[in-house]
Amino acid sequence: MDPKQLLLRLGLSENGANIYLSLVERGSLTVSDIAKATGIHRPIVYKHLPELLDHNLVTTTKKGKRTLYVPESPRKLESLVDETKSDLKEMMPGLQEAFSASGKRPIVKYIEGGKGITFVMSDVVHSLKRGDIWYRYSSSTKDTDKFLPKDYRKVRDAKSLERFVITSEEYTKRKKPRMDRAMKTVPKEFGLFDHDVTLIIYGDKVAYMDYNSESVLIIENKIIAEFQKNLFKMLYSKL
């Protein structure tokens, strides 16, 4: 790895890294010498020297009236790594707690237009793992194939994704039987499946697709998705 890139990854600024590497190559230098060697203006050199002093990568010495900046051994970088690891270990519990708390809050997305429906169908097949199962309430009376992404069927079949569907008798008649799709119908008297709205539950997401307005509402939350999956399974078992 390029030494400069390593210094940047350790938290030094670009100017700070250039100054330190110049000192390592040339030895002790005044601010004027550093500016000439690096092409960095003197005020900028003065601005960035404190970070090198704070990291103990540079010390100062006097030569007459002049102040020289002396590079410390690159071995000091190891202690900088150790300090970073120690700081990370100290703050990790708080970061993890914040991360866990954020994961409990639902992420809600709203997308207008047919592209939103296409996005959901693409997300289903690309985000699920091989052999995963997803669940769908389908009340669409229109031809919705036009919203499918071009690689939808190819990816779906390659991953052997399975789906359970609750829908209307009309929808069932339009679909050919498939090994990877199990369907049950809701009796007509309930009037639940003539609104051209579809609900899909997959992974940690729940997506509502309205074919009337061609809009999509996606809720990403593990608890909500599990709740909807359980409701689906209970209704499916009763049909």
Q: pTM of the full predicted structure?
A: 0.56
Question: Whole-number mean pLDDT of the chain?
Answer: 87
Is 55 found in the same domain as 113?
A: no
For residue 201, pLDDT beyond 90:
yes
Number of domains in the chain: 2
Per-residue burial over 42-62, b = 16 or more CB atoms within 10 Å of its CB, e = otherwise: eeebeebbebbeebebbeeee
User: Would 24 be classed as within a structural domain?
Assistant: yes
Query: Quick one: pLDDT at residue 101?
Result: 65
Q: Which two tokens stand for residue 93?
A: 């519990």
Q: Which of these three, 31, 55, 73, is where a domain ends?
A: 73
Range in 37-46, 97-106, 213-222 with the lowest mean pLDDT: 97-106
What is the SS3 assignment for 167? Answer: strand
- Domain extent, residue 129, equals 107-238
Is 222 found in the same domain as 126?
A: yes
pLDDT digits (tens, 9 = 90+) for 78-93: 887 887 788 888 888 8
CB contact set of 13 (below 8 Å; sequence gap of 6+): 48, 51
Query: Quick one: pLDDT at residue 8?
Result: 86
H-state helical runs in the chain: 3-9, 14-26, 31-38, 42-54, 76-103, 114-127, 152-158, 169-174, 222-238
Query: Quick one: pLDDT at residue 103?
Result: 60
Rounded to 5°, the CA angle 92-9-51 comes to 95
